[in-house]
A and B are shown apart, each in its own frame.
Chain A
């Protein structure tokens, strides 16, 4: 995992901890990954796995206290974002790295016309005049498929449906042509037919602008259709990372395998669904050994005692497991 050629973003050994009454929560605990220009990275995990905290750390939106980025580097275009002064990071946020969140209603100002919110972006970051900004705003609304954009621009957020609001959000974040788009569960609150529209829109805009995307989701189906690489997170760690096609066909980690098997496959016959037993761990009280050991179907004594190694299975494929090679072979892969 070396070389910076073509990497837009390189996260190295990132650790973000939260101090709580319950003790230190190691929400993100030693995460490293790279993102090439124009690629889409999916981050999958259940609640509390650290997937959102990872991305909030990248753009330095961790509330401090209780949170703190205690270690790591976030190299974006050659600069470590974690070392930049607040003023500089604010210029990058929104301009070069943009975010969309699950609930567009909480990310839009309810008291401000849509046009005004869009214009603010380009006036601030691109130095547009009012007239330029308005033209640009309307053009962006048209791009994301808001019908009758010229009139709709002067509506307030509550006058839009959930799907339309998410389109407005996308228009807003893309209006400065960011190099990186971080989308945190962008379609979770939407209906499936609207989800399909929004995902299609993100794909289209990505191919037109070459923006790199980090897509955070719990839905393996969305990951399968949208991403080039996938990271699977559990208990603040990367459990597996691989090219998307490889992860789905040759999983090398028991947790990934369990997740893939526990999603009902609509094309297959019904039967008992595979289930991962037990509950996700309490990250404040992790026991020694592998955090997944209490739920793992191939757990052995060593798993409860020793933290597992991060094993390289293939060119771009790593798995955090004492038995990564065995699991990978069982899936049909030939480990390095």
Chain B
């Protein structure tokens, strides 16, 4: 993908590997961990996030989606690759330079119970970033905190209360107010609604959408919930075992997915309509997601893919623009033959160029 003029963030070949050790002389001597084990949580991801868009990042547990979100902000250190933001490579900034940039890049976490300091009042939690970045102090800071609470739909009377006095949805609002305090450009929302009740999920999705329009925000919305992703996102990126396997706009991903994995993922989503549920055909995937330690060779999905051929075990598929603005990583399709169901058995049009 070429760098687009309106990209806010450009991620290039980003890798996050976790070394679990093993393979050293002592390990070999005792035979405990004879092979070095490395979790390739994010393994060569390139992606542009455009200004003012919501990019949905979807995948199953262990696919590396949260690690990718954290690595962009360097809450987890990348092993390799670049993250360009306003012509600076965040992945290679010093800690001091990074701190200045982080003001513009914030995160909202999944668990509203674990991400707020229980000993701080709501006022202190939301006001802390203002102090850290010396944006406001005293009366002015207090005023700003009140405004922020109102922006996220909380009463300013709550300012002296502690997190335990709030419900999950309200805590998530506090987390959002904290992220907004420094007027960021970009927010990683890491499973922001997964821990909430259905009626509260809708409230938080609508709040995030309202804030994006009012404050010109850009989101990376990470979720395993395809219905939520489809609803909030402009474009959707699908991740499997550390790699991006498909990117397209949200409607296209849902209605015309190209990758066999995306097709299976979408067909697995239960639809709240008994008539639809009674008639539709599910693509059932065999087995579980393989371990990200020593993932399968070639295309990482080949062990579960109903369309896999021998070449899939060897060739690592690249993200290719199969249709305009629709990228997929699968050797069994190509721009000339985009629909895998109609490709001749055993053929790999993606390899023929």
Number of A-B contacts (CB under 8 A): 131
What residues of chain A lie closer than 8 Å to B272, measured between beta carbons?
220-221, 223-224, 248, 260, 263, 265
Task: Return the chain A residue nearest B291 by Cβ.
Answer: A161
Please state if A192 and B226 are interface contacts (CB–CB under 8 Å).
yes
Interface of A is mostly: helix
A221 to B197, CA, bound (A): 14
Q: Does A326 contact B (CB under 8 A)?
A: no
Report the minimum CB–CB distance from B40 to chain A (whole Å): 19
Please state if A46 and B199 are interface contacts (CB–CB under 8 Å).
yes
Q: Which of B241-282 contact A (CB under 8 A)?
A: 250, 254, 264-278, 282
Report the minimum CB–CB distance from A141 to chain B (whole Å): 15
Task: Return the chain A residue nearest B289 by Cβ.
Answer: A191
A221 to B230, CA, bound (A): 15
Please state if B170 and A279 are interface contacts (CB–CB under 8 Å).
yes
Please state if B199 and A193 are interface contacts (CB–CB under 8 Å).
no
Please state if A280 and B264 are interface contacts (CB–CB under 8 Å).
no
Task: Return the chain A residue nearest B63 by Cβ.
Answer: A191
What residues of chain B lie closer than 8 Å to A163, measured between beta carbons?
288
Report the minimum CB–CB distance from B345 to chain A (whole Å): 24
Task: Return the chain B residue nearest A147 by Cβ.
Answer: B287
Please state if B197 and A225 are interface contacts (CB–CB under 8 Å).
no
What residues of chain B lie closer than 8 Å to A275, measured between beta carbons?
199, 202-203, 206
Residue in A147, A194, A258, A266 whose CB lies within 8 Å of B199: A258
Chain B, 286-327, contact with A by CB distance < 8 Å: what is the 0/1 string? 011100000000000000000000000000000000000000
A263 to B167, CA, bound (A): 20
What residues of chain B lie closer than 8 Å to A147, measured between beta carbons?
287
A219 to B206, CA, bound (A): 19
A276 to B197, CA, bound (A): 11
Please state if B197 and A218 are interface contacts (CB–CB under 8 Å).
yes
Q: Does A176 contact B (CB under 8 A)?
A: no
Please state if A195 and B275 are interface contacts (CB–CB under 8 Å).
no
Please state if A192 and B271 are interface contacts (CB–CB under 8 Å).
no
Q: Does A298 contact B (CB under 8 A)?
A: no
Q: Which of A178-197 contact B (CB under 8 A)?
A: 191-197
What residues of chain A lie closer than 8 Å to B231, measured between beta carbons?
264, 266, 270, 273
Residue in B203, B230, B282 whose CB lies within 8 Å of A264: B230
Q: With contacts A192-B224, A279-B170 known, is A262 near B198, CB below 8 A?
A: yes
What residues of chain A lie closer than 8 Å to B209, measured between beta carbons?
272
Residue in A47, A161, A191, A218 whose CB lies within 8 Å of B224: A191
What residues of chain B lie closer than 8 Å to A219, measured between beta carbons?
270
Q: Does B75 contact A (CB under 8 A)?
A: no
Chain A, 274-297, contact with B by CB distance < 8 Å: what is the 0/1 string? 111101100000000000000100
Please state if A164 and B269 are interface contacts (CB–CB under 8 Å).
no
Q: With contacts A218-B198, A262-B198, A262-B199 known, is A272 near B268, CB below 8 A?
A: no
Which A residues lie at the B interface, using CB under 8 A? 46-47, 147, 161-164, 191-197, 199-200, 218-225, 244-245, 248-249, 258-260, 262-267, 270, 272-277, 279-280, 295
Q: What are 19 A-B residue pairs whose CB atoms fall within 8 Å in the complex?
A: A47-B197, A191-B60, A193-B289, A218-B197, A219-B270, A221-B227, A224-B271, A224-B273, A225-B277, A245-B274, A245-B275, A248-B273, A248-B274, A259-B198, A263-B227, A264-B228, A266-B271, A270-B230, A275-B206
Given A218-B197, A295-B199, 8 new contacts (CB under 8 A): A46-B199, A192-B226, A197-B285, A221-B272, A224-B270, A248-B274, A266-B266, A267-B276
